């Protein structure tokens, strides 16, 4: 299995969330955790971000159908 790692600017673009919101939700367990790439670099597994987005979309559609 191959993984694509994306950095913060791309995560922000994909989700529409700000940096502070991403880190807040990560600390609350409501957003995928980042992974360490080196001493000073982190990234996210793109598939985990896509899955998170898919869950948000599904939740919104369910809420709108009620």
Q: Which domain holds residue 16?
A: 5-65
- Residues paired with residue 35 on neighbouring β-strands, in sequence order: 43
Residue 34 in contact with residue 44, Cβ under 8 Å? yes
Total domain count for the chain? Answer: 1
pTM: 0.90
Q: Convert the pLDDT of each residue in 6-16 to its tens digit.
A: 999 999 999 99
Query: b vs e for 41-66, b when ≥16 Cβ sit within 10 Å of the residue's Cβ?
Result: eebbbbebbeebeeeeeeeeeeeeee
How much is the mean pLDDT over the chain? 96
- Residues paired with residue 45 on neighbouring β-strands, in sequence order: 5
pLDDT at 66: 66
């Amino acid at each position: 299995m191959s993984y694509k790692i994306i950095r913060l600017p791309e995560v922000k673009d994909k989700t529409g969330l700000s940096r502070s919101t991403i880190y807040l939700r990560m600390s609350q367990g409501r957003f995928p955790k980042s992974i360490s790439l080196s001493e000073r670099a982190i990234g996210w597994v793109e598939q985990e971000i896509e899955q998170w987005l898919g869950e948000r979309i599904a939740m919104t559609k369910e809420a709108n159908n009620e």
